[in-house]
Chain A
């Protein structure tokens, strides 16, 4: 039996803002967060009967929205390449735009696109939800040691990326300061 509009409205009133806020922190922009929230409630509708049996509807919604958010992050790069939207000043609008999101979250999102599905889930629950290793293990359906291993691997990868970026920045800085033989006079 599917959910009635009244049941759906009650669930939306109780949970939508929480799901939205969480998706916003994972995805970093409002449009995608709204989309993830709508997708989550569409899935609630699809699984109406099974959903009623959930002891924690919010945990179920977290699982669903995690999958959607990870897909969104993975598809973003392709979507940008696909349409190549670029601003071209044909009117001289002079619009000032707000600063971009925090570098740390962006780095985590970027690295999420370069790792396996299980690690992605572990990272989302750990980094964005501050879950304990035990909670992550239950959410993902793996053992606590496996969670630790996945997180450790991810952190090592992040360190390598940051290390390379730091080295490149250092070389550029030295070049700018004229400390390298090929720097311009």
Chain B
């Protein structure tokens, strides 16, 4: 049985060499040798064309995202200002400030939740905004998720209100800071979301694992999965679940935390 396994005996430049040629890393003699070979081998030229075409596919440069990622990869704390030297007598203010901050974070959701929505899933916002609605599987039916703590094996489903957007990225960041993109699924291209103001049921469910919560599900629109994931991780690293929700809303998306047991 033969296998399509390459054996480059040096009779052709490797793809690494071709890439170094494309990025102008080679010296004059090496470049000349590659160009002689390219003149007789269109497959080499096609490979270089493919590299150039990838310029259109690669994510846009974002120094902030890269710097956040670099600091988190290094295991360094998120880039928050160092604490000032507070006089001891002011420390009693800390719990009050934390409570006030929590209230501020919660306030927008209370405003967006209609009063009659006792059975409305979390994530509903005023009409016209993009929204993410979370459901949980109960007795074979998806019912609105209302904030209760879910455990490993529980299944959640989703509806979104795209509010005129065509492309959706649905992802989550769990309590360990692990981000997972669910929609579009890896390697797949999803069709545009339907126009109009109707909620759209997503054709997927997610079985929760045992990772600590909250697991924040985020719907972002008209972005690509890699950018959305990088931005979500940067927001989570900078401000945790609350930071992630704020960033989602700032980008005309929505977020819904699911509490975990």
Residues of A within 8 A of B (CB): 5, 8-9, 12-18, 20-22, 24, 28-32, 34-35, 37-39, 41-43, 45-46, 56-59, 62, 79, 82-91, 93, 95, 97-98, 100-101, 104, 125-135, 151, 155, 158-159, 162-163, 166
Contact = CB atoms under 8 A, between A and B. Distances in A.
For the complex of A and B, 6 pairs with smallest distance between CB atoms: A34-B226, A91-B201, A29-B187, A21-B54, A45-B70, A42-B69
B46 interface: no
Among A9, A21, A28, which residue has the most Cβ atoms of chain B within 10 A? Answer: A21
Given A83-B209, A86-B204, 16 more contacts: A13-B61, A17-B52, A30-B226, A34-B224, A35-B226, A35-B230, A45-B67, A84-B206, A85-B182, A86-B205, A87-B185, A87-B204, A100-B187, A101-B187, A129-B15, A132-B9
Interface of B: 1, 3-6, 8-10, 12, 14-17, 19-20, 22-25, 50-52, 54-55, 57-59, 61, 63, 65-67, 69-70, 73-74, 142, 157, 180-182, 185-191, 200-209, 211, 224-227, 229-230
B16 A135 contact: yes
B205 A18 contact: no
A90 B157 contact: yes
A18 B55 CA distance: 8
The secondary structure that dominates the A interface is: helix
B47 to A, nearest CB: 9
B225 A42 contact: no
Contacts of B22: 18
Given A90-B203, A93-B203, A43 B209 contact: no
Among B12, B70, B230, which residue has the most Cβ atoms of chain A within 10 A? Answer: B70
A86 B136 CA distance: 14
A83 B57 contact: no
A62 B25 CA distance: 14
Contacts of B14: 129-132, 135
Given A21-B50, A34-B224, A130-B6, A62 B187 contact: no
The secondary structure that dominates the B interface is: mixed
A164 to B, nearest CB: 11
Contacts of B202: 90-91
A129 B16 contact: yes
A7 B181 CA distance: 31
Contacts of B182: 85
30 contacts: A5-B63, A18-B19, A18-B51, A31-B226, A31-B229, A34-B225, A37-B59, A38-B230, A45-B66, A46-B74, A58-B16, A58-B20, A59-B16, A59-B20, A79-B180, A83-B180, A90-B201, A91-B201, A95-B191, A98-B188, A126-B5, A126-B6, A127-B5, A130-B12, A131-B8, A132-B14, A135-B14, A155-B3, A158-B5, A162-B1
A20 B24 CA distance: 17
B58 A37 contact: yes
Given A8-B66, A46-B74, A130 B15 contact: yes
A98 B204 CA distance: 17
Among A5, A59, A83, A129, which residue has the most Cβ atoms of chain B within 10 A? Answer: A83
A9 B65 CA distance: 12
B81 to A, nearest CB: 19
Given A58-B25, A79-B180, A86-B205, A38 B6 contact: no
Nearest to A91: B201
Contact of B65 (A28, A38, A162): A38
Nearest to A57: B25
Contacts of A14: 23-24
A93 B245 CA distance: 28
B3 A159 contact: yes
A98 B187 CA distance: 9
Contact of B58 (A16, A45, A125): A16
A34 B16 contact: no
